[in-house]
Amino acid sequence: MPLSETQQKILKTVVRQFLDLKMPTERAFLVREFEDPVAVDQLHLWRLLKTSDSTYYLPTALSFHYCGEPEIDAAAKHGVEVMAKVFKAMYRGKIDPTPENLAAEVAKVDPRSDDQMIRLALYLAPEFWLTAGCLGGTPQHPDVTPTGINERVVTIKHPEILWENYIKENVPWPVSVSENLDDEATAIGAETTIVYNERLAYDILASLKVLFPRTTSASQLKSQKSEFTKASDREWLLTLDGLYKRGFISGNPIRTGFAQKLRDILNLEITNEGLAALQQTLQNPRSYYWALSQEFGRASWTRWAKTLVAAAVGAGVGYFVQHDPQPMSKETILATVLGAGIYLFFDLLSSSWRLHKSLNKPEPRTTSYGAGIAGILLFVFLIAGGLTSIYFNLAPKKHKYAIDPTDMNYINASNTLGAFQALATASPACFVRVTAPFENRGIRDVLNRLAVVYCKMDKPPDPAGPQEDVLKGSVDNGIVIHMAKEPQIRDGFITEMGNAFAVKRTYELPPGSPPDLVWIQIGRGYPFKKDDGRSGIE
């Protein structure tokens, strides 16, 4: 659809005013000059002119193509091609788009370019998504100064056809049915595959909430987060268009073509309706409990982080000190579970309060899958702890002073006492010495109490004495029984002691020892037999 003679003259006037005088054109001047306000409105509707106040007009990229002057069209095309190459090189080289740097880089691409060409190319750059932010482009400040380079410049493979593709895709009026039928069908098919992205919409609102009351543009916002740059242009613009039409965001939308497709939104900001919608996203039970589990995970981690690190270090040290630790009693497990459960219960209660408090903060709630999974696991632990507590409280209780013949502690103590009884029977003048390193002094005291029932006891070594004398000839994770070979009738003592301890027999005794001496030398580590009955002595 060709422009009327009046429309083309209006377009040429606005373009020339911008190029020659660096000024916008006043609507009143156009109306007085051409006596056709409808023509001005039609050009604005077709996005051949742009305005932010309906008083002053500036040209769009389409204006330079349809103004009827081939030289201007060629200059605009050349400027876009050069600036696309320049911005791509500057983005790859991490060069800031300062005026000096731009002039130097333009000279490398096209030495014939002048300031007029650079000015025109920069003015057109935002419409081709070459900038990630800019100043100007308004009636008050027509010239554009870029503040950042859009990362999508790296995807431009053929800058020489960038202008033609833009003109082809942004026809300002409807084309005939027979014209470009295949391309139109392809475009419609592609469009139907793009849907409004609820998750992307939420992230957009959350980002705008942080910026409020400052404004931005849709193109600049897209370049600021990786999740935004991953979205296709169609999905990004469709989601923004949906937010705009629902009243969740406000700004100055830039639309092109007869279908008035959204291309960008200037002065973009969140509205009160958008803030309300951002809070209402938690009204869905699934989203609410997922957010609650994240808060629970964060609160618990804040409380338990140092404790867990200390416990891990302690466990590592304990592993090297004692490879086969004694199992914890049910009472110890119960106390641990109850203590942790109380703290976790208060963390869970505070998490709900923290979640609702976060809705009133300007910062968006960040999604943390790690915290969410941790919160779910801790909640399961809390339930399991409660059930464990109920089980231990309802399970049959053992009386505090009752002797249980099935208790392994009783059986082992009885067998050890029987071993000393057998030793006294075989050697009435038995003389026993028990030594142990400081870490196993408790086991030494138990053996002393059992042995003294039937045998005479050697004077205990000085606890402040050197450990080397106590450990010389000992073995880790077991006991060494020093006892003369004769009389062999005492060998039953070795067998009896082997019911509870990991035992090594030796006939060597310290010089000057009484002939009836039996020296029980406890080594480092866990001297008892393992749960599977094997000896821990290597």
Does one domain contain both 163 and 262? Answer: no
Residues 473 and 487: their CA atoms lie apart, in Å, by 23
Please indicate whether residue 381 or residue 435 has the higher confidence score (pLDDT).
435
Does one domain contain both 456 and 475? Answer: yes
Which of 91, 48, 88 has the alpha carbon at shortest distance from 68? Answer: 48
Does one domain contain both 348 and 372? Answer: yes
Residue 323 has pLDDT above 50, yes or no: no
Instruction: Kindly state whether residue 535 falls inside one of the protein's structural domains.
Output: no
Does one domain contain both 518 and 412? Answer: yes
Which of 536, 529, 430, 436 has the alpha carbon at shortest distance from 483? Answer: 430
Total tally of structural domains belonging to the chain: 5
Backbone torsions φ then ψ of 386, nearest 5 degrees: -65, -45
3-state secondary structure of 207: helix
Please indicate whether residue 520 or residue 375 has the higher confidence score (pLDDT).
520
Instruction: Kindly state whether residue 534 falls inside one of the protein's structural domains.
Output: no
Does one domain contain both 277 and 289? Answer: no
Instruction: Kindly state whether residue 403 falls inside one of the protein's structural domains.
Output: no
Query: Among 282, 315, 344, where does a domain finish?
Result: 282
Instruction: Kindly state whether residue 533 falls inside one of the protein's structural domains.
Output: no
- What does the buried/exposed string (b/e) look like for 128-157 if buried means 16 or more CB atoms within 10 Å of the residue's CB? bbbbbbbeebbbeebebbbebbbebbeebe
Instruction: Kindly state whether residue 250 falls inside one of the protein's structural domains.
Output: yes
Does one domain contain both 288 and 325? Answer: yes
To 10 degrees, what angle do helices 162-169 and 70-92 make?
120
Instruction: Kindly state whether residue 531 falls inside one of the protein's structural domains.
Output: no
pLDDT in tens, 174-187: 544 334 434 444 44
Residue 192 has pLDDT above 60, yes or no: no
pLDDT in tens, 26-48: 999 999 999 999 899 889 888 89
Write a three-state SS string for 303-353.
HHHHHHHHHHHHHHHHHHHCCCCCCCCHHHHHHHHHHHHHHHHHHHHHHHH
DSSP string, 355-398: HHHHTTSSSPPPP-HHHHHHHHHHHHHHHHHHHHHHHHHHSPPP
pLDDT in tens, 478-502: 999 999 888 888 888 998 999 899 9
DSSP string, 61-117: HHHHHHSS-HHHHHHHHHHHHHHHHHHHHHHHTT----HHHHHHHHHHH-TT--HHH
Does one domain contain both 419 and 480? Answer: yes
| Residue 448, token pair as written in the block | 């002393």
Q: Assign residue 189 the CATH number of its domain.
A: 1.10.10
Instruction: Kindly state whether residue 174 falls inside one of the protein's structural domains.
Output: no
Residue-range definition of the domain harbouring residue 268: 181-282
Does one domain contain both 422 and 452? Answer: yes
| Distance set, CA 361 to CA 201, 215, 286 (Å) | 19, 18, 22
Q: What is the pTM of this model?
A: 0.40
Does one domain contain both 383 and 416? Answer: no
Query: Among 36, 66, 96, where does a domain finish?
Result: 66
Residues 162 and 248: their CA atoms lie apart, in Å, by 33
Residues 262 and 255: their CA atoms lie apart, in Å, by 4
3-state secondary structure of 238: helix
Q: How many helices (H) and strands (E) does the chain have?
A: 21, 12
Instruction: Kindly state whether residue 237 falls inside one of the protein's structural domains.
Output: yes
Residues 514 and 379: their CA atoms lie apart, in Å, by 65
Specify whether the CB–CB gap between 239 and 207 falls below 8 A.
no
Does one domain contain both 274 and 291? Answer: no
Average pLDDT over residues 465-472: 80
Percentage above 90 pLDDT, the chain: 36
Specify whether the CB–CB gap between 134 and 125 falls below 8 A.
yes
Residues 295 and 375: their CA atoms lie apart, in Å, by 7
Query: Among 282, 304, 331, where does a domain finish?
Result: 282
Mean pLDDT of the chain: 82
3-state secondary structure of 432: strand
